[in-house]
């Protein structure tokens, strides 16, 4: 049994499992070499040979306990026919959303557009480098995908003042997203994913109607994934009440962000916990890194815990700091 599955099923592990969000990507020099030659990010995600290489790069370097596929949550709106591009030093930019086109979208057309992702998983599932490791597939949560699809760019670059005004559009979009996210989950599992993580990167934007926008849509995905026999991890970044989220949504594991004091979660959350460390700690020094990492390891010493970050690893991160991080985690007793 893999270390992460053991944590999920038996609530314990012989080691402290570790993997990092965005471990396959921008902080690695070998990834940057590939990226230079492949400026179109969507095309790169749809190149199963290069995506396989990128997925395995952090495994080759660091021997993490899980590989997460090189892809992006915005491959779902791309698969649904919305224009998606990534602009350097800006981030994603999406085209206008035609809800009628999406409502009429054929399931086979969606799967066909994303088929290279499923071939990537097929290629990885029997790779000897991943023996005794989990292969993580992922999706964006309905709320976060809704934000991108209607706002057409990352909220960090501005949020439309009329975003919440069209309730009918929001309702229709959430409903159709449920259908196609589930298709993407099913296809990833059929192709070899052993875990699914649901990223709700902009969950913190919701300050009312949490049931309508966060709990109910995500619960639908969690229950569906569980019905396929695969554990599911949720990362509702920025929410204030992780305990309430866990009670309502009931994932197998919760990934916490770095704004939450970890000791406040003890005796409240019963399921396994993942993550928490501020990625900026990796930009400091070894002494500070050791201090902060050990804080999480000590807090969760007697709670099922997978070490990870409270958000994706930053591009400026030095390789030697990642090696040091892994050493601290592996040496902890």
State the CB neighbour count (10 A cutoff) for residue 169.
14
pLDDT tens per residue, range 239-295: 999 999 999 999 999 999 999 999 999 889 999 999 999 999 999 999 999 999 999
pLDDT tens per residue, range 19-51: 999 999 999 999 999 999 999 999 999 999 999
Looking at residue 14, its pLDDT comes to: 75
* The pLDDT of residue 164 is above 80: no
* The pLDDT of residue 3 is above 70: yes
Looking at residue 21, its pLDDT comes to: 98
Instruction: For the chain, give the mean pLDDT.
Output: 94
pLDDT tens per residue, range 193-237: 999 999 999 999 998 889 999 999 999 999 999 999 999 999 999
For each of the domains in the chain, give its residue range(s) and CATH number, in order of start: 3-331 (3.20.20.210)
* The pLDDT of residue 120 is above 70: yes
Split at pLDDT 50, 70, 90, the class of 163 is low
pLDDT tens per residue, range 45-92: 999 999 999 999 999 999 999 999 999 999 999 999 999 999 888 889
* The pLDDT of residue 161 is above 70: no
Cα separation, 144 vs 139, in Å, equals 10
For 133-162, give the secondary structure using H, E and C. Answer: CEEEEEEECHHHHHHHHHHCECHHHCCCCC
Looking at residue 162, its pLDDT comes to: 61
Compare 102 and 284 and report the one with higher pLDDT: 284
Arithmetic mean of pLDDT, 306-311: 98
* The pLDDT of residue 103 is above 70: yes
Looking at residue 5, its pLDDT comes to: 86
Based on C-alpha coordinates, what's the Rg of the chain? 19
Compute the residue count for the chain.
Answer: 333
How far, in whole angstroms, is CA 284 from its chain's centroid? 24
Element (H, E) at 67: strand 66-68
The residue with tokens 């990870």 is: 308
């Amino acid at each position: 049994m893999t270390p992460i599955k053991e944590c999920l099923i038996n609530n314990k592990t012989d080691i402290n499992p570790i993997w990092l969000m965005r471990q396959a990507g921008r902080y690695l020099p070998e990834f940057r070499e590939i990226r230079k030659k492949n400026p179109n990010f969507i095309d790169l995600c749809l190149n199963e040979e290069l995506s396989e290489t990128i997925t395995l790069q952090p495994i080759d370097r660091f021997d993490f306990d899980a590989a997460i596929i090189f892809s992006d949550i915005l491959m779902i709106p791309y698969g649904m026919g919305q224009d998606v591009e990534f602009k350097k030093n800006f981030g994603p930019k999406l085209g206008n959303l035609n809800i009628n086109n999406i409502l009429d979208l054929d399931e086979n057309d969606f799967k066909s557009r994303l088929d290279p992702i499923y071939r990537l998983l097929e290629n990885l599932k029997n790779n000897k480098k991943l023996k005794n490791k989990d292969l993580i597939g992922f999706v964006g949560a309905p709320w976060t995908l809704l934000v991108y699809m209607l706002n057409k760019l990352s909220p960090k670059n501005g949020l439309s003042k009329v975003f919440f005004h069209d309730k009918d559009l929001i309702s229709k979009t959430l409903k159709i997203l449920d259908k196609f996210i589930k298709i993407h989950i099913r296809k990833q599992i059929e192709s070899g994913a052993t875990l699914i993580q649901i990223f709700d990167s902009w969950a913190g934007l919701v300050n009312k109607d949490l049931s309508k926008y966060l709990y109910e849509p995500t619960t639908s995905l969690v229950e569906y994934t569980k019905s396929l026999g695969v554990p599911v991890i949720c990362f509702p970044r920025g929410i204030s009440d992780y305990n309430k989220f866990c009670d309502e949504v009931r994932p197998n594991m919760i990934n916490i962000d770095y704004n939450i004091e970890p000791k406040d979660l003890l005796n409240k959350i019963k399921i396994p916990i993942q993550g928490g460390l501020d990625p900026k700690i990796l930009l400091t020094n070894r002494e500070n890194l050791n201090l902060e990492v050990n804080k999480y390891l000590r807090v969760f010493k007697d709670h099922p815990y997978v070490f990870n970050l409270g958000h994706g690893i930053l591009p400026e991160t030095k390789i030697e700091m990642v090696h040091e991080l892994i050493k601290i985690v592996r040496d902890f007793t």
